[in-house]
Amino acid sequence: MGHASGVILPKLDGVPVEYRLSAEDPRAIKLAQTLTTLGLAEPSAWEDAKHSSTGYVRAALKRWLASHGGEQVRENFSLNATISSSPDLYSGDDGRRELLYLMVDPDSAGYVILGPTLEMLEIIHPRLPASFYHILVGAIQLWVRVYDVRDAQYRVEMLREWVEGENDPERYEFPDVEGCIPQSMKLKPLSLKHVRQLAVGINDQLSRQLVHAALDLNKISRRLRRPEISEETREALMDSNPPLPALLISFKRHDAVLACYDDESQAFLEASPEPNLIVEIDPTDHAGVRRAFDTLAVLCETMAAASRLAALLPGNNQEG
Amino acid sequence: MRKITRKSKITREAVLAELALMAEGRHPECQNIMGRFVRCPQFQQACKILADAIQVEAHRYGAKREEVPAPPGWLLPV
């Protein structure tokens, strides 16, 4: 039988093996209080969130998204809404210590092909395709970044500038963006008023639905203007890349716009991208919190309307 | 079969009361050692000083760490 060494292990009886703390950020507590007072958070979620202010705020955000078309948005877009203590999710740099930041960003870009729709609308009026395109892109672009033919043109222009100094710039080939643009897109768009008048008299059911859906989208997207951000937050995002596109629009499957997107997308995350939407929240400012949530609601409803429109687009869901 | 859903009966006032305790640091969860650490800058500073001191000592003794005497009743450092 061995001898005892005389060394003993300290007793851990009675020492808690786990500490759980939901007071991790006083700003989350203040926001939870404001959301409860405003009726934006559901008290019944408090127990489900295990009395954690962060979990409770998350539940309120999820509920808000669901009640503003979140499910419909998910059918065509992959967007995330986040409330963070930093304006830069990638670097995690601190912003203003008293603020929280409501941000929306995509995981990946939705994709729509507009060529067949434009051909269909051209039959109704030669300038309707360009009008439809500008209404659609203009409305969505108010809230999230859209990558479309203009980005592709800019990309090719930049690539050409890069090779200008080379000895034999002719050996480089670039996507033919100009060649992929339908002729109807080169005409001047009609005024919104003219499109509205035109929409009433369209006989073809799908064309009428499409034009009405675009007008509806335009109306929803302009319900609110996105709030301005402070100079400090702007400075924190100064070295960021442009926002990640939430939607890619091309005219045909595998056209030059898509080729430019594929090429450019490889550098999207070389630096932290700017958020698609960023709203500063002072958690104690009830009107400000309400405005932030209303802003998010308009973004959601805009993207839900875009999703409904995307579902109508002919040729959009064909494989290949 | 009908699905029975359990709806919490907690009121808005009860949630606000609990959040107010949290905001003031008087919620039971804020009273444990981690809660006190998170809320108290002096506690955080003291821990940092202690951690830095241990770090410096560890570097100073290097391979001869066994020279640091273990508290009575504790296992010797390996």
Task: List, for residues A172-212, the tens digit of each pLDDT value.
Answer: 889 999 999 999 999 999 999 999 999 999 999 999 999 99
Burial class (CB in 10 A: 0-12, 13-18, 19+), B69: exposed
pLDDT at position A4: 54
Cβ contact (<8 Å) for B10 and A47? yes
Interface of A with B in 2-31 (CB under 8 A): 7-10, 16, 19-24, 26, 29-30
Q: How far is A91 from chain B (nearest CA, A)?
A: 23
Where exactly are the structural domains of chain B?
14-61
- The closest of A78, A84, A107, A98 to A237, measured between CA atoms, is A84
Mean per-residue pLDDT over chain A, rounded: 91
Contact between chains at A21 and B32 (C-beta distance less than 8 A): yes
Confidence of residue A7 (pLDDT cuts 50, 70, 90): low
With CA atoms as reference, report the closest residue to A211 among A274, A270, A135. A135
- φ, ψ for residue A50, nearest 5 deg: 55, 40
Cα–Cα distance list, A266 to A88, A174, A259, A263, A271 (Å): 20, 17, 12, 6, 11
B45: its two tokens = 């500073």
Quote the tokens at residue A109: 């870009």
Handedness of CA A212, A214, A220, A222 (dihedral sign): negative
Q: At what angle do helices A53-66 and B12-23 cross, to 10 degrees?
A: 140
Helix (H) or strand (E) holding A102: strand A100-108
Range of lowest pLDDT (A206-210, B31-35, B52-56): B31-35
Facing A20 at nearest CB: one of B29, B73, B75: B29
Cβ distance of B32 and A16 shorter than 8 Å: yes
Q: In a 3-state reduction of DSSP, which class is residue A193?
A: helix
Restricting to A residues 29-58, those with a Cβ less than 8 Å away from any Cβ of B are 29-30, 32-33, 36-37, 41, 43-48, 51, 53, 56
Determine whether the interchain pair A23/B38 forms a contact, defined as Cβ–Cβ distance below 8 Å: yes
Whether the predicted pLDDT of A22 surpasses 90: no
Distance (Å, whole) CA A129 – CA A183 = 10
Q: Where is average pLDDT lowest: A144-148, B40-44, B72-76?
A: B72-76
Q: Do B32 and A19 touch (CB under 8 A)?
A: yes
Residue A242: CB partners within 8 Å, gap ≥ 6?
Answer: A145, A273, A274
Q: Residue A17's pLDDT band (boundaries 50, 70, 90)?
A: low
Contacts of A43 in chain B (CB under 8 A): 8, 10-12, 14-15
Identity of the amino acid at B47: C
Check CB contact of B69 with chain A, cutoff 8 Å: no
Are A194 and A211 in contact by the 8 Å Cβ rule? The answer is no
CB hemisphere CA count around A162 (13 angstroms): 9
- CB atoms B23 and A37 under 8 Å: no
Q: Are A310 and A76 in contact (CB under 8 A)?
A: yes
Q: What is the pTM of this model?
A: 0.80
A9 with B75: Cβ contact below 8 A: yes
Has residue A217 got a pLDDT over 90? yes
Contacts of A22 in chain B (CB under 8 A): 22, 29
| Cα A271 → chain centroid | 18
Q: Is A244:A268 a contact under the CB 8 Å cutoff?
A: yes
Query: B25–A23: do the CB atoms touch at under 8 Å?
Result: yes
The verdict on a CB contact (< 8 Å) between B11 and A43 is yes
Least confident of A85-89, A224-228, B13-17: A85-89
What band does A221 get if pLDDT is binned at 50, 70 and 90? very high
* Smallest Cα distance from A52 to chain B, Å: 9
* Distance from C-alpha of A63 to C-alpha of A16, rounded to nearest angstrom: 35
For A18, nearest residue in chain B (alpha carbons): B34
Confidence of residue A125 (pLDDT cuts 50, 70, 90): very high
Give the Cα separation of B64 and B75 in Å (integer): 16
What per-residue confidence (pLDDT) applies to A23?
Answer: 47
Nearest one of A100, A103, A177 to A144, comparing CA atoms: A103
Q: How far is it, in rounded angstroms, from Cα A259 to Cα B29? A: 55
d(CA A310, CA A72): 11
CB contact under 8 A, A46 and B30: no
Burial class of residue B60, CB neighbours in 10 A (0-12, 13-18, 19+): exposed
Chain B positions touching A21 (Cβ under 8 A) are 29-30, 32, 34-35, 38
Q: How many CB pairs under 8 A join A and B?
A: 71
